[in-house]
Structures are given as C-alpha cells and as structure tokens.
Amino acid sequence: MKAKMKSHLSPARRKLLEIIDSLGFGTIKDLSIRNGEPCFDPFPRILHDIKIGADPAAQPEITNGDFVLKSRIVELFEHLDRIECSTITIEIKHSSPFRLVIEQNSPAPRSSAMIR
C-alpha cells in the first residue's frame, strides 16, 4: 500500500479508520471486503468492549485533519489489498487493529514448506 497518510485513503478506508479510532476496544464483525475495499452495505456488527468497575479510559480523539497512519493501520490495509472478496473480523485494542480474521470458502493455500 502506497498511502501512509489519512488523506491518501479511499473514502471506505477512511470510514473504517474512523470506526477503529472511535471504538477504542472491541470487535468489528462481518465486514465485507471487495477488491481490497471495505464495504458497508450491509453495515458490519460492532461489539464495544467495556470493562465494568474500571475508570473510563480517555476516549481517543478523532482527528479530522490529515495525519500519518499508525504502522498497525498500514499493515491492516496491506492485508486488505490482498483480499478479493471475503468477510473479515477485526479485533481492536487501544484504537488500533490487534487481530484480523479472514473468512474464506476455500481451503487455505499450503506453503511449499508444508508440502512433502
């Protein structure tokens, strides 16, 4: 992915970035990806993690201006670049992607090291 700045992202990727930033902790489930781009029709399920009895953490401030993307965001979009058509789940911690689960209908390709 060439874009390292928010302004270089497509509108769909900017929308995903804003959801990740505003969520803080939680999960984005059943997000459709087509040709590397997030699709919000239908809108994914959003699970917001809230720890009961803890002091509320300062919510991240959504920046409307341009900024350099965090390395985890860049890595997430690099993974999306390789997805033609699939459904994904993204776990979010500290307003950053932590884990990506890709749903696929065909068996996972095997690496040549695994083939004997």
Least Cα distance to 50 among 72, 27, 17 occurs for 27
| Tally of domains within the chain | 1
Question: Is residue 111 a part of any domain in this protein?
Answer: no
Question: Is residue 16 a part of any domain in this protein?
Answer: yes
Question: Is residue 58 a part of any domain in this protein?
Answer: no
Segments in the chain below pLDDT 70: 1-3, 55-63, 106-116
Q: What is the pTM of this model?
A: 0.80
Specify the pLDDT at position 113: 45
What token pair was written down for 10?
């497509």
Specify the pLDDT at position 52: 87
Question: Is residue 91 a part of any domain in this protein?
Answer: yes
Specify the pLDDT at position 51: 82
Specify the pLDDT at position 114: 40
Least Cα distance to 63 among 25, 115, 6 occurs for 6
Question: Is residue 21 a part of any domain in this protein?
Answer: yes
Question: Using CB atoms within 10 A of its CB, is residue 14 exposed (0-12), middle (13-18) or buried (19+)?
Answer: middle
Question: Is residue 110 a part of any domain in this protein?
Answer: no
Specify the pLDDT at position 105: 74
* Cα(89)–Cα(101) distance, integer angstroms: 5
Chain-centre distance for alpha carbon 20? 7
Specify the pLDDT at position 61: 55
Question: Is residue 109 a part of any domain in this protein?
Answer: no
Specify the pLDDT at position 67: 87
Give residue 77's domain range: 6-50+64-103
Q: What is the DSSP string of 35-56?
A: TTEEE-SSPPEEEE---TTSPP
